[in-house]
Amino acid sequence: MRRHLLSALICPRCGAHPMRAAGAEDVIDEGWVECPEGHRLEVRRGVLHTLDELTPQIAGQLDENARERRGELTDAEKDAYRRNISRIGIATYNRLIRDNARAALDAISIQGGRSLDLGGGSGWLAAELGHRGFEAVSLDIEDPHERLAQIEGGAAGRDFELVTDVLDAPGREAVDYVVGDMEQLPFADSAFDLVTTSAALHHSSDPVRTLRHAARVLRPGGVLLALNEPAKGVFRDESPILGGRGEAAGEHLYWARTYVGFFRAAGLEPRLHFPGWIDRTLRERNWSGVVYYRRLLPLAGWVWSAPMVRTLARGPLLRPAIDLFGLTLICEARKPA
């Protein structure tokens, strides 16, 4: 972690700040930071550890992630994983999360400052924000080094393609990694200009609580960008996707209107965006890695060439399209100034 992060932190035990650290170097690799009451948080391999106790939500997520990476799914779970998730493939997954993020980031008004990614996993989104000039923080319940070691260590025991976010050079990017809970953020009020989350909000046991924390740490006028959240659709049957382990894996599937209600309940003003990856896929008519609606795709690609259709799909037809087809939810939610 870089020293500048100290000014954004509050003590997860007593809420006091500012935090301080020993030494004077700009990048803290090993050591600790300390609050005014003397509570210490460890820094190991550059990662700040703020988790004191594991809530049931966190313990469940850690167990389930580890089981999947070791390849210890039941036959029914493996079968569902292969048919639904491995079929997308790790390369397509990483392209689609990035395409969706880049299109949304290009479209919002916040183009610099301090950013926080919730449930950041490998840190790919924080790295993208770092490249765009943000002072980027990635927060997850997992240490990115331990996460990578589990993914690599489990490879021999897996007989299905694991689909997860990857970053080529974790740690070498300009990212501050924090191990912490998105449901209880260890940051000061108004510390961030932009808070992002990709495919992680639906893992929260209480999305409104998580979003209230996100709103608290955002400055007035700041933006929360929720990306790549699965949404329910009339024609999208998600029930068999994980072979029955949806609950254990922390997978919650909500309607778009439920998400919109969550953002409003947290005091944010939501606006949906059309997913950049779907736009690109339809423009390029490249269907590799597309799992859903395969028979509709050639027709959709043809219709998509009409500019009027694309305009309508970004406007009045967006909500109906999400509700019918379960398109990935991309939502910009502003904190009132």
Ligand X SMILES: C[S@@+](CC[C@H](N)C(=O)[O-])C[C@H]1O[C@@H](n2cnc3c(N)ncnc32)[C@H](O)[C@@H]1O
Q: Provide CB contacts within 8 A for 78, sequence distance 6+.
A: 159, 160, 243
Kindly state whether residue 14 participates in binding Zn ion, applying the rule CB under 5 A: yes
Residue among 28 and 85 whose Cβ is closer to ligand X? 85
Q: Which residues 118-147 are close enough to bind ligand X by CB under 6 A? A: 118-121, 139-142
User: At closest approach, how far in Å is the CB of 116 from Zn ion?
Assistant: 20
- Counting contacts by CB under 5 A, is residue 39 touching Zn ion? yes
Min separation Cβ 199 and ligand X, Å: 4
Q: Smallest gap, in angstroms, from Cβ of residue 23 to Zn ion?
A: 20
* Residue 231, binding choice from Zn ion, ligand X, none, Cβ under 5 to 8 Å by partner class: none
Q: Which is nearer to Zn ion, 7 or 258 (CB)?
A: 7
3-class SS of residue 87: coil
Closest distance to ligand X from the beta carbon of 274 (Å)? 18
Q: Which does 140 bind (CB under 5 to 8 A by kind): ligand X, Zn ion, none?
A: ligand X
Query: Whose Cβ is closer to ligand X: residue 200's or residue 278's?
Result: 200
Q: How many residues does the chain have?
A: 337
* Smaller CB separation from ligand X, 121 or 275: 121
Indicate which single residue of 10, 21, 35, 231 sits in contact with Zn ion (rule: CB under 5 A).
35
Q: Measured between alpha carbons, how far is 3 from 39 in angstroms, rounded to an integer? A: 18
Q: Which of 50, 100, 115, 198 binds ligand X (CB under 6 A)?
A: 198
Name the nearest CA neighbour of 192 among 215, 216, 224, 219: 219
Report d(CA 162, CA 70) in Å as an integer. 10
Q: Which of 37, 63, 106, 189 binds Zn ion (CB under 5 A)?
A: 37
Q: What is 200-252 written as a DSSP string?
A: -GGG-S-HHHHHHHHHHHEEEEEEEEEEEE-B-BTTB--TTTTTT-TTTTT--
**Distance separating alpha carbons of residues 121 and 86, to the nearest angstrom:** 19
- Site size with ligand X, rule: CB under 6 A: 21
Short-list 92, 138, 78, CA closest to 114: 138
As a whole number of angstroms, the distance between CA 305 and CA 28 comes to: 51
- Alpha-helical segments (H) within the chain: 56-69, 75-81, 90-107, 124-131, 144-153, 207-217, 256-265, 276-284, 297-304, 307-314, 318-325
Q: Give the one entry of ligand X, Zn ion, none that residue 58 binds, where binding means its C-beta sits below a cut-off of 5 to 8 angstroms depending on kind.
A: ligand X
- Would you tell me which residues interact with ligand X (CB under 6 A)? 57-58, 61, 97, 118-121, 139-142, 165, 181-183, 198-200, 203, 228
- Would you tell me which residues interact with Zn ion (CB under 5 A)? 11, 13-14, 16, 35, 37, 39
